[in-house]
Structure 1
Amino acid sequence: MPTSPERLREAERKVLERVKVPVEHEFVRAGNYIMHVIVAGRGNPKNIILLHGHSMSAAFFYRNLEQLVSIGYCANAVDLLGWGRSDRPEFKGKTAEESIDYYVESLQLCLESLGLREFVLLGHSLGAYVAVQYTLKNPLPVRKLVLISPAGIERKVSPLRALYFAFTPQLLIRRGGLLGYLGFIARYPRQPGFVAPGLRKLAYQLNAQPKPSGDAAVVPLVSLRGLSAAECLFPLVECIQRLRVPVHLVCGDMDPVVKVSEVKHLYELLKNTISDCHFTVIRGSDHCAFLEYPDEFFRAVFGDEIESWQHSTCCPNDFTVSDVSLEEGSEREQ
């Protein structure tokens, strides 16, 4: 049976209890809707926006908040419209353009309400796709893009993958009763990070919410043409070269959803137009490097800032990451 917002809030609270820095919740106006933002490190001199992937929420960045705060960031993890504890309006659009507008316009209004003039924009999977589309329309406030296993890279899509998005797993979980719950348990990842106490319960509560919304807004982005062909209607390879901000691409070498070769293709396109462009592969990681290997991810993406912040006179603490070198934890090409 569908669950309730109250159960979702409690499941999220259990996960965020593990964060060792103060965490605040903001519910900000985004046009006609309210969006939920988890804030850590308020008052720090730098801002970073975190956008989650499909079937997830802002709380999935719980392993990264303390690290970001330790190097001077105010971390703002946003529940995209239709996901997490943000409003879940019915998506009435039919086209891919309407899908992109659904996410980008609401995000723009949300960030305007937060009053942030400049920030790093970090997105995972669907969140990375939204981050690119947002930056193409609003480049001025984005100081840097960090894209983790971005969705929608190539035009050609596996028909099975397209079917997954067309008939969303949320539909089965929301209406499948015991069968839906057992299907969720069977498919839930077993990789490091996902098995943390309370995270599986949070994932179930997120995806068993009563109304389709954010999941329905993804459907028009992928066109299923029978059982043998499918395509992403606005793939990143066809727009990524219009970016003019620094970009760091990250993926896991064990990711079955977004292949290393796809992310490397994006990198090859970007490095022709952007001098400050990096590509990191986190060894042993699946689709969520930031969650599975947070220390390796943190050092790979923010290594230069860690060193400069620790040597700064305004450094608030003596935070250090685990002693894993880039060569051991990831592969970096420049």
Structure 2
Amino acid sequence: MDPATSTATLQDDSEPSSIWGWWPSWRPTSAAILKSAEAKILTRVQNDMWARYVTLPNQERIWTLTVTNKSAPKPKQQAPSKTPLVMVHGFGAGVGLWVKNLDRLSHSRPLHAFDLLGFGRSTRPAFPSDATQAEDIFVSSIEQWRQSLGLDDMILLGHSLGGYLATSYAIRYPARVKHLILVDPWGFPDRNQPVAAEAEGTQVVKRPTLPLWVKAVVSVLGFFNPLAVIRAAGPWGPGLVTRFRQDFKIKFEDLFDDDTMTNYIYHCNAQTPSGETGYWAMMESLAWAKRPMLQRVDQLPASLPVSMLYGDRSWMTSSSGHEAARIRGQAYTRVELIKDASHHVNNDQPEIFNNMVEEICNSVD
């Protein structure tokens, strides 16, 4: 990072010890290596950035980035601060995967991004096997995180699993969310119920078409946690991720000409399994939730605007978004399909995504 154009403040405490401490001799990973992999990615952030742990009342810690626009003119009189944007990543990810979005989306308002409990660099507690209890732990940790930061309200954006959890959070704490932005959200359709096809107007059960890498993981893992194969592969794990997730190398080739991003994904997911165990408790299969969000979306207050952004090449179906809009009736529910984007909309089409999210945020204040 060029110190003349950006300022990064990093606060890092020693990582908690783990009963799995002997595993790095087999798996070529550690908390320190994950820290270094993430730091390399975050050198691309040009705005002011404060990275630190936010400690919850139970002493669990959430790894958090706060990004603000260093070049914004300082008003002579203090203007009311704009509603912060809070970004929640998806399954198996971390704050590093927002690297193409952090600068632009912090242009006019504070931006906070954090590693979900059990993922990335956050604390990795044990999760129960009950779907409701696991979801409650995720959602409660987000609320405790909000309280610890002292945020009154926010524009809440969630991708994939993060979209599912952001919706659950908004149902429980609607007064804290000014606009809910869902990006290719996971866990919405009911596996056994038809949803309206957006074009034909007929009732069909639209099942997501899983990409080849997902099918491969499913066939290998069977009844194991979704990312167990990465850990079981030991020293071959990094190569396995690079082989199956070449798409990530391509998505970020304008920033890195090496395996920076696939290495980051590996080290995020080769650590002690935790958040993925919570995800495993909540899912019926990789594409379906035990408690589908379409069964609960009517619990969102009609006064809460919702925007749902899908990639037109994603294995998530936008039909769920149109069904959510139908269920919500007259409540504001916007569904957008972004051309030439897969599941990771924000990285496939970052300029379009950033423009769209910034427009939504500007509609709030």
| TM-score, structure 1 normalization | 0.82
Amino acid at match of 2:265: A
* Aligned equivalent of 1:203, options 265, 271, 276: 265
| Counterparts of 1:286 and 1:230, CA distance in 2 | 15
Which residue does the alignment assign to 1:64?
A: 101
* Aligned equivalent of 1:246, options 283, 305, 314: 305
Which residue does the alignment assign to 1:84?
A: 120
Larger Rg: 2
Which residue does the alignment assign to 1:286?
A: 342
Among all aligned residue pairs of Structure 1 and Structure 2, give the percentage whose two residues are the same amino acid: 26
How many pairs align?
299
What's the CA shift string for 1:110-147, capped at 9, x where partnerless?
11000000110000000000000111111111000000
1:169 Cα deviation after fit: 4.0
Which residue does the alignment assign to 2:322?
A: 264
Which residue does the alignment assign to 1:331?
A: none
- Shift in CA distance, 201/182, structure 1 to aligned 2, threshold 3 Å: closer
Moved more, 100-109 or 34-43: 34-43
1:260 Cα deviation after fit: 2.5
Which residue does the alignment assign to 1:213?
A: 274
What's the CA shift string for 1:251-288, capped at 9, x where partnerless?
100012x1222333223323x141x2211111000001
Which residue does the alignment assign to 2:85?
A: 48
| Counterparts of 1:63 and 1:231, CA distance in 2 | 28
1:45 Cα deviation after fit: 3.0
* Aligned equivalent of 2:176, options 141, 144, 148: 141
Which residue does the alignment assign to 2:225?
A: 168
Q: Structure 1 residue 15 and structure 2 residue 41: aligned?
A: yes
Amino acid at match of 1:288: H
Amino acid at match of 2:264: L
Q: Structure 1 residue 116 and structure 2 residue 116: aligned?
A: no
Flag structure 1 segments of 5+ consecutive residues without an equivalent.
310-334
Amino acid at match of 1:233: K
Q: 2:314 aligns to what SS in structure 1?
A: coil
1:292 Cα deviation after fit: 1.7
Which residue does the alignment assign to 2:355?
A: 299
Q: Structure 1 residue 35 and structure 2 residue 62: aligned?
A: yes
Amino acid at match of 1:293: Q
Give the conservation status (yes or no) of the 8 Å contact 2:105–2:357: no
- Shift in CA distance, 289/230, structure 1 to aligned 2, threshold 3 Å: closer
1:289 Cα deviation after fit: 0.9
- Shift in CA distance, 147/189, structure 1 to aligned 2, threshold 3 Å: farther
| TM-score, structure 2 normalization | 0.75
Amino acid at match of 2:82: P
| Counterparts of 1:117 and 1:280, CA distance in 2 | 28
1:300 Cα deviation after fit: 2.2
| Counterparts of 1:115 and 1:296, CA distance in 2 | 31
What's the CA shift string for 1:224-247, capped at 9, x where partnerless?
6xxxx9962210110012112110
Give the conservation status (yes or no) of the 8 Å contact 2:179–2:364: no
Amino acid at match of 2:276: D
- Shift in CA distance, 88/174, structure 1 to aligned 2, threshold 3 Å: same
Amino acid at match of 2:224: F
Flag structure 2 segments of 5+ consecutive residues without an equivalent.
1-25, 71-80, 192-206
Q: Structure 1 residue 222 and structure 2 residue 283: aligned?
A: yes
